C-alpha cells in the first residue's frame, strides 16, 4: 500500500463548545493580528468536513433541530468560520494550529456537533435526534476520502459536551449514559478504526454558574476515564479555560473565550497525537 495515501481521521463532536460559538474577531486581541490572519487564511494541509446543528426550544414547546453551518459534504481547509456561523470557530483551529506542520496532508477532521444538546435525550441510541445522523455523516465522509484515493483510519473521537446534562434529572445518569454512548460509537465505527476501540478524548465542562452540577458531570467523566486506557479526560478547569471575559461589555459565560477555545483544540491534539501515524 502507498504510505502517502494512508491518512488519519479525527472526529469532533459534542454541543456548542464543540460546534464553536466563540467570536473569531476576539482573537485579534487574545492571539494577536498575525495569528488571527493565519487562522483566517486557514490550513490547507489539515482539511475538515463539518456539519453543525442547534437544538431549539420554541414557544410552542416542540423541540426541533436546525442545521446552522456545513461544508456540504466536502472537505475544505480548516479555517475560521466553521463554528455555528461565518463569524465563529470551534476546536478545529487549535488542532490545526498545533499539528499542521508535522501532519500536513495526512490528517483530516470530521466535525458533527449540536449546540444545546444533552447526552441523555439527544445522543443515546440510533433513534436519538443526533446519534444516527452523526454516524451516517462520519461514514459518508470516510467514503469520500476513499473516493479521493486515500486509505483513512479513524484515530480518535473528541467529545466536548456535558453542559446540557448538568441539571437535575440528568447529571446523575451521565456516567451510565457515557458508557453506552462510547460503546455504541466503538461498535458502529470499529471497522473504520482498523478494528480497534476508538480512543475517546473527553473534555470537562466549565465551572460557569449556569451549569448547576458541573462537578458531578466532570466527576462522571473522570470516572469513565479510569475504566480504560483508551478513555482520556481533559480537565479544562485545571488547564485554565475560561468563559468570563468576552465580549468585554457582556461576557457570554456559556461559551469559551477565544484563547480558551484555541487551547481546547490544542489540548485535544496533545492527547490524541500519540495515536497518529508517524512519518517514516
Q: Which CATH class is domain 3-275?
A: alpha beta
| Angle CA 72–74–76, to nearest 5 | 115
Q: Given pLDDT bands bounded at 50, 70 and 90, which one contains residue 1? A: very low
Rounded-to-5 percentages of helix, strand, coil across the chain? 40, 25, 40
Reported as a single tens digit per residue, the pLDDT across 185-236 is: 999 999 999 999 999 999 999 999 999 999 999 999 999 999 999 999 999 9
Distance CA 137, CA 39 (A): 25
Reported as a single tens digit per residue, the pLDDT across 155-176 is: 999 999 999 999 999 999 999 9
Reported as a single tens digit per residue, the pLDDT across 59-70 is: 667 788 999 899
Amino acid at each position: 500500500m502507498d504510505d502517502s495515501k494512508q491518512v488519519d481521521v479525527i472526529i469532533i463532536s459534542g454541543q456548542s463548545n464543540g460546534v464553536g460559538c466563540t467570536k473569531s474577531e476576539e482573537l485579534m486581541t487574545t492571539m494577536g493580528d498575525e495569528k488571527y490572519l493565519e487562522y483566517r487564511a486557514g490550513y490547507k494541509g489539515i482539511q475538515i468536513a463539518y456539519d453543525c446543528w442547534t437544538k431549539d426550544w420554541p414557544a410552542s414547546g416542540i423541540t426541533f433541530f436546525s442545521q446552522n453551518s456545513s461544508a456540504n459534504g466536502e472537505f475544505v481547509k480548516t479555517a475560521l468560520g466553521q463554528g455555528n456561523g461565518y463569524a465563529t470557530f470551534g476546536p478545529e483551529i487549535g488542532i490545526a494550529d498545533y499539528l499542521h506542520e508535522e501532519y500536513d496532508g495526512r490528517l483530516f477532521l470530521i466535525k458533527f456537533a449540536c449546540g444545546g444538546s444533552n447526552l441523555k435525550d439527544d445522543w443515546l441510541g440510533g433513534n436519538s435526534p443526533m446519534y444516527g445522523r452523526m454516524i451516517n455523516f462520519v461514514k459518508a465522509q470516510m467514503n469520500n476520502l476513499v473516493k479521493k484515493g486515500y486509505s483513512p483510519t479513524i484515530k480518535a473521537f473528541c467529545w466536548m459536551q456535558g453542559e446540557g446534562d448538568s441539571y437535575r434529572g440528568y447529571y446523575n445518569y451521565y456516567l451510565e449514559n457515557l458508557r453506552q454512548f462510547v460503546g455504541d460509537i466503538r461498535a458502529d465505527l470499529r471497522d473504520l478504526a482498523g478494528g480497534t476501540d476508538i480512543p475517546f478524548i473527553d473534555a470537562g465542562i466549565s465551572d460557569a454558574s449556569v451549569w448547576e452540577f458541573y462537578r458531578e458531570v466532570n466527576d462522571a467523566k473522570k470516572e469513565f476515564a479510569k475504566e480504560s486506557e483508551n478513555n482520556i479526560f481533559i480537565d479544562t478547569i485545571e488547564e485554565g479555560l475560561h468563559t468570563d471575559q468576552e465580549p468585554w461589555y457582556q461576557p457570554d459565560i456559556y461559551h469559551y473565550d477565544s484563547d480558551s477555545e484555541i487551547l481546547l483544540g490544542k489540548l485535544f491534539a496533545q492527547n490524541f497525537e500519540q495515536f497518529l501515524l508517524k512519518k517514516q
